[in-house]
Amino acid sequence: MAGTASPSLVWVLVEYPGAWPPNGFDGLDLEPGTKALVSSAARTARARVLLVRRPGPRRLGARRRHGPAKWAVLRHESSGAYRQLWGTWDRDEDLAEIALALASPGETGFPPTILICAHGQHDTCCAVRGRPVVRALTERWPELVWECSHVGGDRFAANAVIAPDGVYYGGLDAGSSIATIEEHLSGRIHAGYLRGYTDLLPPQQAAVAAVLAQFGPAGRHDYVVAEALREGDYWRIRISGRPPHPANIEVELRAGRGPERQLTCRAVAPGSVIVYELTSIRRT
């Protein structure tokens, strides 16, 4: 799984309790001008737009729950700061505020949001494996957990994204999700279910996961990629750590194609993806 987190520094969340089309926000039947404005602003900000909803039964054909729904812009800055802006919408045109929020720095002090992919119309695995995880996490952190639309990597369902931290976890079930998220919220990220950090390139994500596996859990910003060099299929990545973690670590990886397999529940033919094999890791 290491090295498979989709890149993003900004997240747009749109609460939509009704049925989600396979392509998420792009497929919603919204007022065309407002939808185009939000999509354009998100592209300019290089933001990922996700549909979200609270867990629980849904009324067939319902677009929104009783009363206004929520939207949010969550931002992970290069300095490590987390900023968020939240609002509500009742009419489609209210979503135009998202474009203004994407141009705003946002506010600090909010807790992170726990997103679990449960987008069954995109891939059945996500709903089947995601919803038991949602139920388990909601019992523990009812205000933080949302079901979300497709985040990538259906083969790793159940998938969790912590935003705006920008951390992907995969292969979770009800038990492992509670332990993993509890450690994350306590400032200890483990390698076991880690897919990667969304502000890093895939080989850099894999290198950080290798460091966490070798030297133990660490906080989100305890390790920084200082240098990444590529020679053909090989990567040499230098990582700097904050005390009490190792100060300098060099990781070497080999990129290659994994074996062909069914990548999603809906896949009609097997496929293969790039995987990163650890060849060496050492303190320097």
Identify whether residues 33 and 131 lie together within a single domain: yes
Identify whether residues 163 and 218 lie together within a single domain: no
Confidence band, pLDDT 50/70/90 cuts, at residue 60: very low
Tell me the C-alpha distance between 28 and 18, whole Å: 10
Residue 278 has pLDDT above 50, yes or no: yes
Cα–Cα distances (Å) from 2 to 7, 41, 197, in that order, read: 13, 30, 10
Amino acid 210: pLDDT: 98
> Considering 128, 151, 184, which residue would you say is the last residue of a domain?
184
> Considering 149, 184, 219, which residue would you say is the last residue of a domain?
184
Q: Which residues pair with 235 in a beta bridge?
A: 230, 253
Name every residue whose Cβ is closer than 8 Å to that of residue 255 and which is 6 or more positions away in sequence.
203, 233, 234, 235, 274, 275, 276, 277
Q: Is pLDDT larger for residue 63 or for residue 136?
A: 136
Tell me the C-alpha distance between 56 and 58, whole Å: 7
Tell me, letter by letter, the H, E, C secondary structure of 35-57: HHHHHHHHHHHCEEEEEEECCCC
Cα–Cα distances (Å) from 176 to 68, 148, 162, 190, in that order, read: 34, 19, 15, 12
Identify whether residues 175 and 208 lie together within a single domain: no
Which DSSP letter does residue 261 get? B
Residue closest to 89 by CA, chosen among 16, 29, 142? 16
Residue 188 has pLDDT above 90, yes or no: yes
Amino acid 273: pLDDT: 84
User: What's the token pair of residue 195?
Assistant: 């897919």
Phi, psi (rounded to 5 degrees) for 101: -65, -35
Identify whether residues 170 and 115 lie together within a single domain: yes
Residue 131 lies in a domain: yes
Residue 175 has pLDDT above 70, yes or no: yes
| Residue span of the structural domain in which 84 resides | 10-184
Residue 1 lies in a domain: no
Identify whether residues 151 and 207 lie together within a single domain: no
Amino acid identity, position 269: A
Identify whether residues 119 and 168 lie together within a single domain: yes
Give me the mean pLDDT over the 238-264 stretch: 90
Residue 78 has pLDDT above 80, yes or no: no
Identify whether residues 54 and 90 lie together within a single domain: yes
Report the side by side order of strands in the sheet with 145-148. Answer: 82-89, 69-76, 10-15, 47-53, 145-148, 113-117, 160-163, 167-169, 194-197
Residue closest to 2 by CA, chosen among 281, 223, 278? 278
Percent of the chain with pLDDT over 70: 95
User: What's the token pair of residue 186?
Assistant: 């306590």
Give me the mean pLDDT over the 8-29 stretch: 94
Identify whether residues 160 and 228 lie together within a single domain: no
Name every residue whose Cβ is closer than 8 Å to that of residue 179 and which is 6 or more positions away in sequence.
none
Confidence band, pLDDT 50/70/90 cuts, at residue 63: low
Residue closest to 164 by CA, chosen among 214, 199, 216? 199
Amino acid 269: pLDDT: 78
Residue 52 has pLDDT above 80, yes or no: yes
Identify whether residues 84 and 50 lie together within a single domain: yes
Phi, psi (rounded to 5 degrees) for 138: -65, -35
Sequence length of the chain is 284
Confidence band, pLDDT 50/70/90 cuts, at residue 55: confident
Amino acid 261: pLDDT: 75
Amino acid 236: pLDDT: 97
Identify whether residues 213 and 172 lie together within a single domain: no
Identify whether residues 224 and 153 lie together within a single domain: no
User: What's the token pair of residue 122?
Assistant: 């995109």
User: What's the token pair of residue 73?
Assistant: 């812009």
Confidence band, pLDDT 50/70/90 cuts, at residue 162: very high
Q: How many domains in the chain?
A: 2
Identify whether residues 210 and 125 lie together within a single domain: no
